[in-house]
């Protein structure tokens, strides 16, 4: 278990045990870090991750609070971590997505229209200004969906819609935990768009493989660390 995972587990235990209840404010950062035996950096990463999945609410200038923890919110939050750390099927899903995204990008290079290309480049520009990881992942999902639509194969569109929704949480988690994930995604999106613009199916296939393979590799390492 990584230091950040350990920090997350300790905060969750405080909530599960009832020590921290819905609406409660967390102790001051230095006090909580000292009490839990964590560095302040590890504690910050844990708070950031738990706020992303709506267990904690960080209020600028006021402090960090436990959310309402309504059943639907709590279930969604807990399943977020389960998806990545305990459901090994996510690797099979990512593998299937990598194969299909590569084939779809190759088809799109043959059929994509100029207005569709312009839309992809707009999404890349907009992604650089996304304020949150969730917004960035939504942008990413739209980028890939437009490439699927440009393949002119409705079966691939449906299959990839299903696979993308099942791996979006892993991509959000990667965005939180891996500092350069967003920069790498932008670079790879631009390379894919450039290959489509050049009408190079082989290049589009290769860059799509590299792009999805990056997420696959990160999740594989995260799962290996969890098993260790």
Answer yes or no: is 82 within a domain: no
CATH number at residue 54: 1.10.10.10
Q: Alpha helix (H) ranges present in the chain?
A: 3-16, 29-36, 40-52, 71-85, 89-111, 114-127, 133-150, 154-177, 181-197, 201-227
Residue 18 confidence (pLDDT):
84
Give the end of a domain, one of 77, 99, 132: 77
Predicted confidence at residue 131, as pLDDT, reads 81
DSSP states along 37-100: T--HHHHHHHHHHHHHTTSEEEETTTEEEE----HHHHHHHHHHHHHHHT-THHHHHHHHHHHH
pLDDT beyond 70 at 4: no
Q: 117 vs 95, which has greater pLDDT?
A: 117
**Domain match, 106 and 30 both:** no
74 has a pLDDT exceeding 60: no
For residue 107, give its domain range.
87-227
pLDDT at 219: 73
At 23-61, the pLDDT tens digits run 899 999 999 999 888 888 878 878 877 776 677 888 888
Domain shared by 140 and 194, yes or no: yes
- Asked if the structure places residue 106 within a domain, the reply is yes
Same domain, 110 and 219: yes
Structural domains counted in the chain = 2
Are 167 and 61 within one domain?
A: no
CATH of the domain at 136: 1.20.120.530
Q: Are residues 50 and 118 in the same domain?
A: no
Tell which residue, 69, 17, 25, 19, has the closest CA to residue 47: 25
Domain boundary among 46, 77, 108: 77
66 lies in some domain: yes
- Mark whether 92 and 196 lie in a shared domain: yes
The mean-pLDDT minimum among 82-86, 160-164, 224-228 falls in 82-86
CA-based torsion, 145, 209, 164, 167: positive or negative: negative
| Pair (99, 160) in one structural domain | yes
Are both 50 and 105 inside the same structural domain? no
């Amino acid at each position: 278990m990584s230091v950040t995972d350990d920090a997350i587990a300790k905060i969750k235990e405080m909530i599960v045990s009832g020590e921290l209840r819905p609406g409660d404010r967390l102790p001051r950062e230095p006090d909580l870090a000292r009490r839990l035996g964590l560095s302040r950096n590890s504690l910050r990463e844990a708070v950031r991750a738990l706020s992303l999945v709506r267990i904690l609410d960080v209020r600028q200038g006021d402090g960090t609070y436990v959310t309402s923890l309504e059943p639907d919110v709590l279930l969604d939050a807990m399943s977020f971590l389960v998806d990545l750390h305990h459901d090994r099927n996510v690797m099979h899903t990512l593998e299937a997505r990598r194969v299909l995204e590569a084939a779809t990008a190759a088809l799109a290079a043959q059929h994509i229209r100029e207005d569709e290309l312009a839309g992809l480049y707009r999404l890349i520009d907009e992604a650089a200004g996304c304020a949150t990881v969730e917004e960035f992942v939504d942008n990413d999902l739209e980028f890939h969906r437009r490439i699927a639509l440009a393949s002119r194969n409705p079966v691939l569109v449906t299959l990839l819609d299903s696979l993308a929704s099942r791996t979006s949480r892993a991509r959000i988690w990667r965005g939180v935990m891996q500092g350069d994930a967003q920069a790498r995604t932008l670079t790879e999106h631009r390379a894919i768009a450039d290959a489509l613009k050049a009408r190079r199916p082989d290049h589009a296939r290769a860059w799509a493989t590299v792009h999805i393979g990056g997420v696959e590799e990160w999740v594989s390492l995260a799962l290996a660390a969890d098993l260790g």
